[in-house]
Amino acid sequence: MYTDKWVGSWFGDTYGATTAVYLGVFVMLSTVYGMLALARSLAFLFFCVRASVNTHNRLLDHVLVLPKSFFDTNPAGGSWWSRGGHFSAGGQQQQSRLLPT
């Protein structure tokens, strides 16, 4: 934002300085803007990674304290696919019970 204002001042020759001064200030403002953008991106990355790690750890903690009977009654890993998926005969029977005819 300030770089645009500075370029406007440069082309309007507002301060009556040499081209080297205008160019030096422009490079300085652009560098500061780039560093701030990088810092903002790194902060966003850090907070996103920290949030995902916290979510994973909380989920893992909750799964690890579940009783074994939960896993006996709720099989995991491909059980939906091994039953034939959504279009199995059992699924059609269940749909016919749930949907009005």
Amino acid, res. 101: T
Alpha carbons within 13 angstroms on the beta-carbon side of residue 41 total 6
Question: What is the H or E stretch that residue 90 is in?
Answer: helix 89-98
Q: What is the pLDDT of residues 20-48, one digit of tens each?
A: 998 998 899 999 999 999 999 999 999 99
DSSP-derived letter for residue 92 is: H
CA of 54: how far to CAs of 19, 36, 46, 51, 64, in Å? 52, 27, 12, 5, 15
Q: pLDDT tens digits, residue range 53-101?
A: 999 999 999 888 888 887 777 766 545 555 555 555 555 565 566 666 6
Classified as helix, coil or strand, 4 is helix
pTM of the model: 0.56
Angle at 40 between CA 38 and CA 43, to 5 degrees: 110
